[in-house]
Amino acid sequence: MRYFVAVAEELHFGRAAQRLGMAQPPLSRAIHQLERRLGAALLERTSRAVALTEAGAVLLREARAALDAVEAAERRTRRAALARTGQPGVVLATKAGASSELLAKLLDAHAAEPGAATVDLLLCGIGEQERMLRDGRADVALLHLPFDATAGFDTEELCTEEQVAVLPAGHPLTTRDHLRVAEVTALPDLPMPRWPGRDGTYPDGPGPQARDHTQLFQLIALGRTCWIAPESCRAQLREGLAAVRVLDAPTVTTVIAWPPHSRSRAVAGLVRAATRI
Amino acid sequence: MRYFVAVAEELHFGRAAQRLGMAQPPLSRAIHQLERRLGAALLERTSRAVALTEAGAVLLREARAALDAVEAAERRTRRAALARTGQPGVVLATKAGASSELLAKLLDAHAAEPGAATVDLLLCGIGEQERMLRDGRADVALLHLPFDATAGFDTEELCTEEQVAVLPAGHPLTTRDHLRVAEVTALPDLPMPRWPGRDGTYPDGPGPQARDHTQLFQLIALGRTCWIAPESCRAQLREGLAAVRVLDAPTVTTVIAWPPHSRSRAVAGLVRAATRI
DNA sequence: GTCAGCGATACCGCCCGGGTATCGATCCTG
DNA sequence: CAGGATCGATACCCGGGCGGTATCGCTGAC
């Protein structure tokens, strides 16, 4: 299945084999065997190109979930074994640089509980929390709706907030009481920034490249771009930045999420602390 | 992992090996290798008994989920491949003999949609729907809260109903307008029936054994037992049965549930039809 | 004290997964 | 239009790992 996912993602047997650290012929054979075992054509191959069939697309999605589940099983077991010798910590995945106030309150509330487990923080890039939770690198995560997918997790809502446009101080729009999304995204002098995708490359476009919030805020202060963010980011605004409410941007809901069959006392304690905030 | 689950369930290497269709020594070795790979003691073995360690319990839970995910991947891929040649059907898992009225309305509403996929019904025993959905034998299911677990599924609420006590016609309690759970379960002349567990054996107790709703209703009509069920079962009441509202029984909510990452058009259509009822 | 039950170990043989060499088809290029 | 480049498929070989049999060591029961 790992083989198939590699081929399906690369759509190229040679590159997939290289990524898997093996030669191309055995990979070809393995995929053929998988197709025979499933009785289904997974890939449409011509001698020049490889494409997914419908069944292949289904398997790609399901196989990713299955591989994540296997990885999670290994990781969680290892952690459970370590926990018995050391302290039973719990890994909390959260977006780096966001909602630091809420996070602080959560950790305080949890630490105040008797017998609270130690909490290890796992700071993730944009949208990485979901995968961390799925493959067992994290036990619990703070997610932000509607950006992150909570499908398949148990969740508890923590807080909801409006969004604001972060602009360079002194920009004409900062005199306004409120804005609309269309006004902010269509500014010809402040094109929206470009974020790296999962593969580390940036999409094409006019905006400047930003890798994290520090860079982003610096770029805004320099008058090169603007951004729409939850209003809790106001606490982090540095000199030279201004925030204006954006009325029609989706409200952001922060939720705490955990795998549905989690039976860990430590996770339950953290969730309980979270609901008490 | 299959090996470990077998051993963890049997707590006996010999029987587990037999169940897996292999000899005991290679099974022992495989578990040892797994323990070395994970760096964790999974089983506490004496020469007379085998017990799970804490890490072993974690792995058992996680491995079951992972194996289900793998099985689901295979099954769904096979079905996707068949669907391309035949008709793209969707498998709906539902409790045998329950909510037939709701089910009929759902199927009608779905059939009325243009381009509706064919729906294959999978009638399950008590609580089996969850597993069917998890391991890919079903694409969508009707579950009944609070009895079935919806953890890890996306759900849409369909209807909520009170519960009634099903009693033999002419029983003294049938003259009452309503009852309490304690009154129904504590009847010395009508002990609650016993249902077979997942392994097919019946728990000990005074009540008669029932395998399905037909047997149950017959036993009630014969004055041997009674039962508490959602009030929609009134439509199925045969001669000799009476139903009385039970005020403090939990209300039953029927939901339609599907795997969270399901992208199938057929499932989406069925859910859409369900929400329109 | 002896025996039965059960998991661990030792050793063996075979199959499967991975490697190299090569083919066949298709598209690009001069 | 021909030749080369690219890429997946095929043929063949090899070694490690998995499963099988035989046996040991421990422990609880009669």
pLDDT digits (tens, 9 = 90+) for B2-31: 999 999 998 998 899 999 999 899 999 999
For every residue of chain B, DSSP letters joined together read -HHHHHHHHHT-HHHHHHHHTS-HHHHHHHHHHHHHHHTS--EEE-SS-EEE-HHHHHHHHHHHHHHHHHHHHHHHHHHHHHHHHS---EEEEEETTS-HHHHHHHHHHHHHSTTPPPEEEEEE-TT-HHHHHHTTS-SEEEEEETTS--TTSEEEEEEEE-EEEEEETT-GGGGSSEE-HHHHHT-SSSPPPB---TTSPPPPSSSPB-SSHHHHHHHHHTTS--EEEEGGGGGG--TTEEEEEETTSPPEEEEEEE-TT---HHHHHHHHHHHH-
CB of A85 under 7 A from strand C? no
Q: Can you give A235-262 as a three-state secondary structure string?
A: HHCCCCEEEEEECCCCCEEEEEEECCCC
Contact B261, B255 (CB under 8 A): no
Mean pLDDT, rounded, for B106-128: 85
Q: Which nucleotide has the least CA–C1' distance to B32?
A: C8
Measured between alpha carbons, how far is B9 from B64 in angstroms, rounded to an integer? Answer: 11
Mark yes or no for CB contact A261/B38 under 8 Å: no
- A190-214 exposure pattern, b = at least 16 Cβ within 10 A, e = fewer: bbbbbbeeeeeeeeeeebbebeebe
Mean pLDDT, rounded, for B199-220: 80
Say how far A65 CA is from D4 C1', in Å.
Answer: 43
Q: At what angle do helices B54-85 and A54-85 cross, to 10 degrees?
A: 180
**Structure confidence at residue A196 (pLDDT):** 79
The pair of structure tokens assigned to A204 is 């094409």
Residue B110 has pLDDT above 80, yes or no: yes
**Structure confidence at residue A32 (pLDDT):** 92
Least confident of A45-54, A245-254, B55-64, B77-86: B77-86
**Protein residue closest via CA to C1' of D22:** B25
**Structure confidence at residue A73 (pLDDT):** 93
Give residue-wise pLDDT tens across range A93-111: 988 766 677 888 888 998 8
Mark yes or no for CB contact B66/A80 under 8 Å: no
Mark yes or no for CB contact B39/A72 under 8 Å: no
CB of B59 under 7 A from strand C? no
The pair of structure tokens assigned to A163 is 């969004």
Name the residue in chain A with its Cα closest to that of B63.
A73
Measured between alpha carbons, how far is A94 from A107 in angstroms, rounded to an integer? Answer: 12
**Structure confidence at residue B239 (pLDDT):** 82
Between the CA of residue A48 and those of A9, A14, A45, what are the distances in Å? 16, 12, 8
Q: Across chain B, which distance is largest between two alpha carbons, in Å?
A: 67
Which residue's structure tokens are 């269709």?
Answer: B21
**Structure confidence at residue B86 (pLDDT):** 61
Give residue-wise pLDDT tens across range A181-201: 888 888 888 888 888 776 677
The residues of the protein lying within 7 Å (CB) of strand D read A 12-14, 24-25, 28-29, 31-32, 45, 47-48, 50; B 21-23, 25-26, 29-30, 33, 46-48
- B211-229 exposure pattern, b = at least 16 Cβ within 10 A, e = fewer: eebeebbebbbeebbbbbb
pLDDT band at B245 (very low <50, low <70, confident <90, very high): very high
Say how far A201 CA is from D4 C1', in Å.
Answer: 33
Between the CA of residue B67 and those of B57, B87, B132, B140, what are the distances in Å? 15, 28, 13, 19
CB of B24 under 7 A from strand C? yes
Say how far B25 CA is from C15 C1', in Å.
Answer: 19
Global confidence as pTM: 0.84
Name the residue in chain B with its Cα closest to that of A78.
B38
Measured between alpha carbons, how far is A163 from A244 in angstroms, rounded to an integer? Answer: 9
Q: Which nucleotides of D are covered by protein (CB under 7 A)?
A: 6-12, 18-23, 25-28
Counting every residue written for chain A, the total comes to 277
Name the residue in chain B with its Cα closest to that of A57.
B77
Residues in chain B closer than 8 A to A261 (CB atoms): 61, 65, 151-152
pLDDT tens for chain A, 277 residues: list them: 899 999 999 899 889 999 999 989 999 999 999 999 998 889 988 877 888 988 889 999 999 999 999 999 999 998 888 776 666 678 899 887 666 778 888 889 988 888 778 888 888 877 788 999 999 999 999 999 888 888 889 899 998 999 999 898 888 888 999 999 888 888 888 888 888 776 677 887 787 888 777 788 888 888 888 989 888 888 878 888 889 999 999 999 999 999 988 878 888 888 999 888 7
